[in-house]
Amino acid sequence: MRRVKTVMIGVGCISKIYLKNITETFKEIDLIGVCDLIRERAEKACEEFGVPRIYETMHDAFADPEVELVLNLTRPYEHFGVSKAALEAGKHVYCEKPLGADLAEGKYLLKLAQEKGLMLGGAPDTFLGAGIQTCRRLIDDGFIGTPVGSAAFMLTSGVESWHPEPEFYYKRGGGPMLDMGPYYLTAMINLMGSIDRVVGISRASFPQRTVTSQPFFGQVIDVEVDTYVAGTVQYSSGAIGTIHTTFDAKYPGEKRRFIEIYGSEGTLFVPDPNTFGGPVQLYRPEDGVLRDVPLMYEYKENSRALGLADMAKSIANGREARCDVQQTYHVLEVMEGFATSSKTHSWVEIESEYHRAPAMVPPRLKGILD
């Protein structure tokens, strides 16, 4: 088993679960160093998780000939610059979502990776978890018949009440669609297939947000992105899907809906695509009731870095990565399509091609992929 030498750029809020899973679960990643603009964050990661090196700058990391794979955990509007520099240095890149802050950035990175012969891809990897992989199995095995439609809902009142650094959610690269849309859309295309065209409408409901979380309690954020985005998609199969994402809804948690898939013979209720587990529920008219479906795959808990481990396996074995750029770019094009449609009041054709990667294979040993 070859372990792929990896460096983490950005040691912010989401890094801890990556560090935990990389060092405790996924055996094929060798995290040899970290880098952050705030050195204390990098020092804490090294101390807590036994990472051997701190790089003063990302360019120091990219110049290290040992580094094969870069994990880009910077803020959304920084994704492009970090991924670009890593690719130019000859490194494979796995980036947190989204691929870029807009389609032009994504297109540039896609072309650069192709020219360099490097792997590029990234989050979300939640669709590789037990919940959505079980849903895919049910659909592929015909439990709801022919899929005819889907509906997705991401409804919250915003992040400023709980996130310690919420401002970037309301700046370029943020907003409910670019932040949470990748989870939902990635799940949707993995269950339903590629998207051919979209139409959308969006707005910023409130010009400012007041932070009620610590340590920035009371800070007022000027909103620079749309915070309510609704869209309709037409899949290549002809099926129709809808998606609502908003930071503007007062919505009770016990009534949450996530993704529903409608078929000719039944309906599938998909779990939260921001998680790796369940519950999964199936409705068929002959039953007359919702039935809970046991999860049929591994990785039910928070398994962030699963996609990174899959890419490491791809680098080592020369196989297709399940979280590759053709997926992250397709999702980015769909999200920008909603914004373009809202401005032009028209359908937007999706030009990128997408094919579903192979389904997950239950591991013989947890942490070692197929």
**Strands, E, within the chain: which ranges?**
4-9, 29-35, 69-72, 92-95, 120-122, 147-155, 195-203, 208-210, 220-222, 228-235, 240-246, 259-263, 267-270, 280-283, 290-293, 348-349
| pLDDT of the residue at 364 | 87
Q: How confident is the model at residue 363 (pLDDT cuts 50, 70, 90)?
A: confident
> Residue 41 pLDDT more than 70?
yes
**Rounded to whole angstroms, how far apart are CA atoms 254 and 120?**
38
Give 93: exposed, middle or buried? Use CB within 10 Å, 0-12, 13-18, 19+. buried
| pLDDT of the residue at 269 | 98
Higher pLDDT, 1 or 218: 218
Q: What is the pLDDT of residues 260-319, one digit of tens each?
A: 999 999 999 999 999 999 899 999 999 999 999 999 999 999 999 999 999 999 999 999
Please give the backbone phi and psi of residue 342, each rounded to the nearest 5 degrees, phi first.
Answer: -65, -35
**Rounded to whole angstroms, how far apart are CA atoms 308 and 318?**
15
Tell me if residue 34 falls in helix, strand or coil.
strand
Retrieve residue 189's tokens.
């295309």
**Rounded to whole angstroms, how far apart are CA atoms 64 and 56?**
12
Q: What is the pLDDT of residues 118-160, one digit of tens each?
A: 999 999 999 999 999 999 999 999 999 999 999 999 999 999 9
Q: Mean pLDDT in the chain?
A: 96
| pLDDT of the residue at 256 | 81
Q: Work out the average pLDDT over 321-329.
A: 98
pTM of this prediction?
A: 0.96
Q: What is the pLDDT of residues 4-34, one digit of tens each?
A: 999 999 999 999 999 999 999 999 999 999 9
| pLDDT of the residue at 254 | 67
What type of residue is 305?
A
| pLDDT of the residue at 136 | 98
Q: What is the pLDDT of residues 214-259, one digit of tens each?
A: 999 999 999 999 999 999 999 999 999 999 999 999 988 766 889 9
